[in-house]
């Protein structure tokens, strides 16, 4: 078996800064694609994972699940991609293909546990998968996305996680003209949620701390901005929303947001803090409200979202960083000082 050694940037433990290291990529199997990575987005999930917020992990670990690059080689049986194609890889890199969810095309909800792009056991060789803060990756062709013409590659990487994670619930809950959508937290996910909800014709309210992001929110298509530290503004919004997408990476007082839902409204949790929420029964009962969750989106839905972005001229707001700026970028994500997604130029590894 011939593996390939590639440069990467990863963690040796939960707390130290990331360092330059090398990792092995598996041999390109018949159904695999070797991708030379050009760009990798920095998602808050990368930080939660390395810091152990979601439980212990194995180190060294290279994260990154917003990957864009060029096909460098294809396996003998590959039909979907050709050498030179601009492609992407998101959060899931495989799934069982056989369970009821996979059979319905919902690979993100694979009942046997899909293979995540990092920190998962790779069914191909039993190793721990390693993510996109690296020069190259080998991925099964069915989990490699074709990037439509017209999308800027550097600005496409964040669509593979931040984009799909907000697009999917907006589509699942049938957001369209007339739907009153609230987006809580305007970071990487949140700002894409605002752009998608506005493009779908919804009436969009951004809920963010302070007023620093007000102008940006309105530029991204929001109709209203509410400073969540302004108690009076929060009180005025009570009962005024049909769907809330909570993208906050930390624990929040979920009651204050459930109170903003109208009868039959739904609050969808996509932000994944370590701490549990405390939900009083009477935040839900009197208005038949729902509290829901959602993870990423299926491979089919990611392709649909990429096409939607190309057709509607939608892209994330990004700041390109080099490898030696990754640790600073993480600190800035942690202090919500990101406008609105860092993307690593992986050529600098
Ligand atoms: P991000 O760019 O850091 O954005 C998170 C936003 O949350 C911040 O911009 C901030 O918004 C708000 N926030 C942060 N700390 C807060 C605090 N202590 N109190 C109140 N608000 C706070 O992160 P991201 O990459 O968008 O990811 C957001 C969350 O989604 C993370 O937990 C991530 O792991 C999770 N995620 C889930 C999925 C999924 O499949 N469900 C996929 C990707 C990511 P304001 O400054 O506007 O208040
Ligand atoms: Zn992510």
Could you tell me which residues are beta bridge partners of residue 68? Answer: 39, 88
Kindly state whether residues 13 and 124 are assigned to the same domain. Answer: yes
Instruction: Please tell me the number of the ligand nearest to residue 47's CA.
Output: 1
167 shares a domain with 132: no
Residues 6+ apart with CB under 8 A from 84: 70, 71
186 and 88 co-located in one domain: no
Do 88 and 151 lie in a common domain? yes
DSSP 31: T
> Which residues 6+ apart lie within 8 Å of 110 measured at CB?
92, 95, 96, 99, 101, 102
Question: Tokens 């601009």 map to which residue?
Answer: 86
- Position 298 in a domain: no
Residue ranges of the chain with per-residue pLDDT less than 70: 1
Looking at the structure, do residues 189 and 284 belong to the same domain, yes or no? yes
What ligand has the least distance to the C-alpha of 247? 1
User: Do 26 and 172 have their domain in common?
Assistant: no
Q: d(Cα 147, Cα 51) in Å, to the nearest integer? A: 31
Which atom of ligand 1 lies at the shortest distance from residue 334's CA? 3
301 in any annotated domain: no
Which token pair is 116? 């995540």
Q: In the structure encoding, which two tokens stand for residue 332, read together?
A: 């800035």
Q: Give the CA distances from residue 1 to residues 4, 5, 76, 125, 135, in Å, rounded to whole numbers and listed in that order.
A: 10, 13, 16, 10, 20
Q: What is the residue whose two structure tokens read 């990756």?
A: 137
Name the residue of 55, 164, 247, 330 whose CB sits within 8 Å of the most ligand 1 atoms, as the mutation to test its pocket: 247
322 and 195, same structural domain?
no
The answer to the question of residue 310 being in a domain is no
Identify whether residues 38 and 86 lie together within a single domain: yes
pTM of the model: 0.98
Asked, for residue 304, whether it belongs to a domain, the answer is: no
pLDDT digits (tens, 9 = 90+) for 125-144: 999 999 999 999 999 999 99
Token pair for 7: 């440069």
> What size, in residues, is the chain?
349
In this structure, are 123 and 227 located in the same domain? no
Which ligand 1 atom is nearest residue 338's CA?
A: 2
- Quote the domain boundaries for residue 285: 162-293
Q: Report how many domains make up the chain.
A: 2
**Which residue, judged by its Cα, is nearest atom 15 of ligand 1?**
250
* Residue 274 in tokens: 């370590």
> Residue 223 is encoded by which pair of tokens?
């109709």
Residue 95 lies in a domain: yes
Same domain assignment for residues 97 and 30: yes
Structure tokens at 91: 């959060």
CATH number at 171 reads: 3.40.50.720
pLDDT of residue 1: 66
Check whether residue 215 and residue 286 sit in a common domain: yes
Any ligand 1 atom below 6 A from CB of 134: no
Interhelix angle 188-199/162-172, nearest 10 degrees: 40
User: Quick one: 138 and 245 in the same domain?
Assistant: no
Start-to-end C-alpha separation, the chain: 26
Q: How far is the CA of 239 from the centre of ligand 2 (A)?
A: 30
CATH code of the domain covering residue 12: 3.90.180.10
Residue 161 Cβ inside 6 Å of ligand 1? The answer reads yes
Whether 300 is covered by a domain: the verdict is no
Query: What is the structure's pLDDT at 208?
Result: 98
In a domain, 312, yes or no: no
| Residue 64, in any domain of the structure | yes
**What φ, ψ does residue 10 adopt, rounded to 5°?**
-150, -175
């Amino acid at each position: 078996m011939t593996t390939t050694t590639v440069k990467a940037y990863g963690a040796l433990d939960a707390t130290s800064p990331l360092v330059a290291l090398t990792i092995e990529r598996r041999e390109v199997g018949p159904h695999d694609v070797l991708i030379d990575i050009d760009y990798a987005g920095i998602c808050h999930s990368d930080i939660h994972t390395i810091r152990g917020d979601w439980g212990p992990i194995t180190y060294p670990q290279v994260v990154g699940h917003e990957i864009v690059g060029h096909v460098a080689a294809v396996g003998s049986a590959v039909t979907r991609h050709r050498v030179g194609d601009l492609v992407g890889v998101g959060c899931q890199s495989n799934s069982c293909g056989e369970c009821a969810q996979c059979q319905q095309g919902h690979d993100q909800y694979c009942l046997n546990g899909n293979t995540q792009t990092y920190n998962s056991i790779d069914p191909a060789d039993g190793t721990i998968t390693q993510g996109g803060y690296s020069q190259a990756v080998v991925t099964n062709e069915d989990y490699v996305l074709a990037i439509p013409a017209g999308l800027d590659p550097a600005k496409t990487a964040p669509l593979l996680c931040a984009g799909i994670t907000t697009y999917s619930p907006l589509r699942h809950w049938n957001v369209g003209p007339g739907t009153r959508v609230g987006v809580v937290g305007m970071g990487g996910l949140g700002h894409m949620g605002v752009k998608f909800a506005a493009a779908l014709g919804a009436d969009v309210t951004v809920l963010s701390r302070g007023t620093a992001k007000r102008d940006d929110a309105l530029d991204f298509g929001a109709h209203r901005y509410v400073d969540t530290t302004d108690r009076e503004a929060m009180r005025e919004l009570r009962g005024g929303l049909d769907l809330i997408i909570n993208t906050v990476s930390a624990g929040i007082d979920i009651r204050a947001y459930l109170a903003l839902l109208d009868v039959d409204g739904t609050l969808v949790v996509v932000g994944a803090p370590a701490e549990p929420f405390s939900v009083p029964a009477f935040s839900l009962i009197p208005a038949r409200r729902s509290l829901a969750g959602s993870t990423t989106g299926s491979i089919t839905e990611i392709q649909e979202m990429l096409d939607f972005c190309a057709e509607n001229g939608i892209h994330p707001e990004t700041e390109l960083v080099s490898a030696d700026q990754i640790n600073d970028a993480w600190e800035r994500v942690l202090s919500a000082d990101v406008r609105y997604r860092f993307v690593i130029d992986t050529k600098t590894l």
